[in-house]
């Protein structure tokens, strides 16, 4: 695989800052010598302690959301610069839980992507179709719209900062994962969308991760596919032992 292998753990709304430090200590003891890039998307209040615990290790700490404005009167929101100063290096954007539960639109996610890039945070753009959309044969149309809208106006020289995560909504937290062949087909389609936006060479450098019920038992066959450059893990990432196992499986240890 020409691209780096990336494993992202998404803690969602779990773990206090104290729990974050214990988790990271445990995880690091299990993945010494691993070559994959490991990212943890943690709750806002755990970013500082997680980043401090991750220091000197090859572990990136990031957030799960942010606002698109630089600053302003937006009660309860958080800005990219605040995340950055707390120790975040990346941010998940457009996760299906944000889209579905909090009504985030493609246009809003687009503005967030531009803000993250402007303020030096790596955006991890999450896209994916619902079960109804898949049954209705709309998967490609939905993904094309999500990708093209979110990444419009991203300058080609910044495109390499973006990480794309394909997460079929029907596979998130359900125990049902896409088969490796099914995921590969969609990843190849996503890469073609990226090529339309940034050219084939650039598209070949962008990592596309798979997410949705990833576990130690299914990760190896997923990352063996040509266009699957790593995984975004929710539930199974809550236990550092299981995440370490996923990382080891990915590397074929
Ligand atoms: P899951 O979640 O691994 O629990 O399916 C993935 C995600 O929400 O990113």
pLDDT tens string 8-63: 999 999 999 999 999 999 999 999 889 999 999 999 999 999 999 997 777 999 99
Residue 51 lies in a domain: yes
Mean pLDDT of 67-92: 98
Residue 1 lies in a domain: no
pLDDT(160) > 70:
yes
Ligand 1 atom with the shortest distance to the CA of 97:
8
Spatial separation of the C-alpha atoms in residues 24 and 121, rounded to whole Å: 21
Return the axis-axis angle of helices 240-251 and 216-223, rounded to nearest 10°. Answer: 30
Q: Residues with Cβ within 6 A of ligand 1?
A: 10, 167, 172-173, 211-214, 232-236
pLDDT(80) > 50:
yes
Catalytic residue among 97, 104, 129, 167: 167
> Is the pTM above the cut of 0.95?
yes
pLDDT band at 1 (very low <50, low <70, confident <90, very high): very low
What is residue 57's predicted lDDT score, i.e. its pLDDT?
A: 76
Residue 202 lies in a domain: yes
Residue 126 lies in a domain: yes
Torsion sign over Cα 46, 101, 65, 211: positive
pLDDT band at 172 (very low <50, low <70, confident <90, very high): very high
pLDDT tens string 178-220: 899 999 999 999 999 999 999 999 999 999 999 999 999 999 9
Number of domains in the chain: 1
Residues 6+ apart with CB under 8 A from 92: 8, 10, 41, 62, 63, 64, 65, 124, 126, 165
Catalytic residue among 95, 129, 133, 245: 95
Residue 214 lies in a domain: yes
Mean pLDDT of 146-158: 97
Which residue, by CA, sits nearest to atom 6 of ligand 1?
234
What is residue 253's predicted lDDT score, i.e. its pLDDT?
A: 60
Asked if residue 166 lies in contact with residue 210, where contact means CB atoms within 8 angstroms, the answer is yes
Spatial separation of the C-alpha atoms in residues 223 and 217, rounded to whole Å: 12
Mean pLDDT of 145-172: 96
Ligand 1 atom with the shortest distance to the CA of 10:
9
Spatial separation of the C-alpha atoms in residues 27 and 31, rounded to whole Å: 6
Mutational pocket test of ligand 1: of 41, 164, 165, 213, the residue with most ligand atoms within 8 Å of the beta carbon: 213
Which 3 state secondary structure label does DSSP give 92?
strand
- For residue 234, what are the domain limits? 6-251
Q: What angle do CA 246, 11, 2 make, to 5 degrees?
A: 45
CATH of the domain at 173: 3.20.20.70
Spatial separation of the C-alpha atoms in residues 29 and 12, rounded to whole Å: 23
Q: What angle do CA 78, 65, 116 make, to 5 degrees?
A: 80
pLDDT tens string 89-143: 999 999 999 999 999 999 999 999 999 999 999 999 999 999 999 999 999 999 9
Per the prediction, the chain carries an average pLDDT of 95
């Amino acid at each position: 695989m020409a691209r780096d292998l990336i494993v992202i753990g998404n803690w969602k709304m779990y773990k206090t800052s104290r729990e974050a430090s214990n988790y990271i200590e445990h995880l690091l003891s299990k993945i010494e010598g691993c070559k994959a890039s490991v990212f943890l998307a943690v709750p806002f209040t755990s970013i500082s302690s997680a980043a401090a615990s991750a220091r000197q290790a090859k572990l990136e700490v990031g957030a799960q959301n942010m606002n698109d404005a630089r600053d302003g009167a937006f009660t309860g929101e958080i800005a990219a610069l605040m995340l950055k100063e707390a120790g975040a290096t990346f941010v998940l954007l457009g996760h299906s839980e944000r889209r579905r539960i909090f009504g985030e639109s493609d246009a809003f996610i687009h503005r967030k992507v531009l803000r993250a890039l402007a303020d030096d945070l790596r955006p991890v753009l999450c896209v994916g179709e619902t079960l109804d959309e898949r049954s209705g044969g709309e998967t490609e149309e939905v993904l094309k719209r999500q990708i093209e809208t979110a990444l419009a106006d991203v300058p080609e020289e910044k495109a390499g900062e973006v990480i794309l995560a394909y997460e079929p909504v029907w596979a998130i937290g359900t125990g049902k994962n896409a088969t490796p062949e099914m995921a590969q087909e969609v990843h190849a389609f996503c890469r073609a969308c990226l090529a339309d936006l940034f050219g084939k060479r650039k598209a070949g450098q962008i990592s596309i991760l798979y997410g949705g019920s990833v576990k130690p038992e299914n990760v190896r066959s997923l990352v063996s596919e040509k266009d699957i450059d790593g995984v975004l893990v929710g539930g199974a990432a809550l236990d550092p032992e299981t995440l370490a196992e996923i990382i080891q499986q990915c590397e074929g240890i």
